[in-house]
Amino acid sequence: MTITLSGVSKVFGDFTAVHPLDLTIPEGSFFALLGASGCGKTTTLRMIAGLEEPTGGGILLGDEDITALPPHKRPVNTVFQNYALFPHLDVEENVAFGLRRRGVTSVGKQVEEMLELVELGPLAKRKPRQLSGGQQQRVALARALINRPQVLLLDEPLGALDLKLRRQMQLELKRIQTEVGITFVHVTHDQEEAMTMADTVAVMNAGRVEQLGAPDELYERPRSTFVANFLGTSNLIEAEIAETKGEELLLKAVGSGTPLRLPVERCAVENPQAGVKVLVGVRPEKISLSHAEDGGEDSGGSGSGSGSGSGSAPGPGSDNRLTGRIRDAGYLGVSLQYVVDSPVCPEFSVYEQNVERDARLTPGAEVVMHWRPAHTFALDAAQDADAGTVEEAL
């Protein structure tokens, strides 16, 4: 069933935990609410479950207004982070609990099916304390799913697991959701988790949804600095629009005047005209790094680069280009990560695949960084450039 939140808000005393929120969660989707601690994820989930009364607005399930419906009358089940299994009941009886409570007497077949779904058949007679964290998590899931809810709400269900088990359970949860086909609303503060599992991610910040979309769309085309920094890493350069040229924007970096370009449609500024200040963004893995002596070939397209980089305007189709000096180089096995200080932006992050290492790319080396205009985005400069960064959160 499609869940529709219209202007749903929650105020605790004089603190607004959730600002009026409009959200449509399509039937059968895996929907993630992603955001830092305290941004209002659990509160939103609890309002959908009926455990928290909205201060304003309404909630529809399909066409039915469920805003005033008590929790047990909603076709919704919740799985919490701490599982809350019954310690004295074995796995089978934990899973059967919901059916027994409703007076169902022959539970055997359904319980068996559920245990099969979560691959716990052989452990049916164990008590929760005899299970690993991931196994307990699967019991909690089976216990919720056996009630055949139309919507399953999951509040940080993998929060107690170590990283490896977490990754494994993410795939498992995704498989189960695909198999049962019901709507999952998953709350997490882990961006990788949201991106791996969800069809649609709503990025929340301070009680508001900043941006909503498919994981790749959010990553490739963030529309705010918060999303650009909270989902992965972004390099942001202060720049000013110089001119609009057909489908392209030509910009100049503030201070150095280094020319930069990007497709107009990748600019999240309402009215992109000459003189408007923007933050030009590029993801670290989109950047190619060359030693300054080599100039730097374009990373793709047919255009010819200007060689040394700064100064003259790049030709159509050519890469954006910045010069800089390596401050730090890290070897991560799968990739090489560099921090480059450039006159237009200190501490540029660059990730290179570990294929052909240029031994000259060590701290102190003069380099050229270049990337395609199509991998560039631009954001409104009237925002905090550091919003959503780890440093800000600490």
Would you tell me which residues interact with ligand ATP (CB under 6 A)? 12, 15, 17, 35, 37-43, 189
Two tokens at 291? 């030693």
Whether residue 312 contacts residue 306, with contact meaning beta carbons closer than 8 Å, is answered with yes
Q: Of 222, 241, 223, nearest to 232 (Cα)?
A: 222
Give min distance, CB of 328 to ligand ATP, in A: 31
Q: What is the 3-state secondary structure (H, E, C) of 230-275?
A: HCCCCEEEEEEEEEEECCEEEEEECCCCCEEEEEHHHECCCCCCCC
Specify the residue, 39 or 115, whose C-beta has the smaller distance to ligand ATP: 39
Task: Give which of ligand ATP, Mg ion, none residue 70 binds (C-beta under 5 to 8 Å, depending on kind).
Answer: none
Specify the residue, 34 or 278, whose C-beta has the smaller distance to ligand ATP: 34
Number of chain residues interacting with Mg ion (CB under 5 A): 1
42 in contact with Mg ion (CB under 5 A) = yes
Task: Give which of Mg ion, ligand ATP, none residue 40 binds (C-beta under 5 to 8 Å, depending on kind).
Answer: ligand ATP
Give min distance, CB of 217 to ligand ATP, in A: 22
Two tokens at 98? 């919901």
- The region of 40-48, 101-109, 241-249, 372-380 touching Mg ion under the rule CB under 5 A is 40-48
Specify the residue, 1 or 154, whose C-beta has the smaller distance to ligand ATP: 154
Whether residue 164 contacts residue 171, with contact meaning beta carbons closer than 8 Å, is answered with no
- The region of 36-44, 110-118, 144-152, 174-182 touching Mg ion under the rule CB under 5 A is 36-44
Specify the residue, 189 or 283, whose C-beta has the smaller distance to ligand ATP: 189
Neighbours of 313 (CB within 10 A): 12
Give min distance, CB of 314 to ligand ATP, in A: 43
Handedness of CA 6, 10, 11, 17 (dihedral sign): negative
Give min distance, CB of 82 to Mg ion, in A: 12
Beta carbons within 8 Å of 228's beta carbon, 6+ residues apart: 222, 234, 236, 281, 377, 379, 388
Q: How far apart are CA 94 and CA 129, in angstroms?
A: 13
Give min distance, CB of 155 to ligand ATP, in A: 7
Task: Give which of ligand ATP, Mg ion, none residue 129 binds (C-beta under 5 to 8 Å, depending on kind).
Answer: none
Beta carbons within 8 Å of 119's beta carbon, 6+ residues apart: 138
Give min distance, CB of 224 to ligand ATP, in A: 18
Neighbours of 171 (CB within 10 A): 11
Whether residue 338 contacts residue 326, with contact meaning beta carbons closer than 8 Å, is answered with yes
Neighbours of 310 (CB within 10 A): 17
Specify the residue, 10 or 283, whose C-beta has the smaller distance to ligand ATP: 10
| Strand residues in the chain grouped as ranges (E) | 3-12, 15-25, 30-35, 56-61, 64-65, 76-79, 151-155, 183-188, 200-205, 208-213, 235-245, 248-253, 259-263, 277-282, 288-291, 320-331, 335-342, 345-353, 366-371, 376-380
- The region of 18-26, 37-45, 247-255, 308-316 touching Mg ion under the rule CB under 5 A is 37-45
Specify the residue, 15 or 391, whose C-beta has the smaller distance to ligand ATP: 15
Q: 8 in helix, strand or coil?
A: strand
Specify the residue, 42 or 225, whose C-beta has the smaller distance to ligand ATP: 42
Give min distance, CB of 91 to ligand ATP, in A: 28
Task: Give which of Mg ion, ligand ATP, none residue 255 binds (C-beta under 5 to 8 Å, depending on kind).
Answer: none
Specify the residue, 39 or 336, whose C-beta has the smaller distance to ligand ATP: 39
Helices 108-117 and 133-145, packing angle to 10 deg: 130
Specify the residue, 153 or 278, whose C-beta has the smaller distance to Mg ion: 153
Give min distance, CB of 43 to Mg ion, in A: 8
Angle at the Cα of 347 (from 345 to 352), degrees rounded to 5? 110
Give min distance, CB of 177 to Mg ion, in A: 20
- The region of 39-47, 103-111, 239-247, 377-385 touching Mg ion under the rule CB under 5 A is 39-47
Which residues bind to Mg ion, rule: CB under 5 A? 42
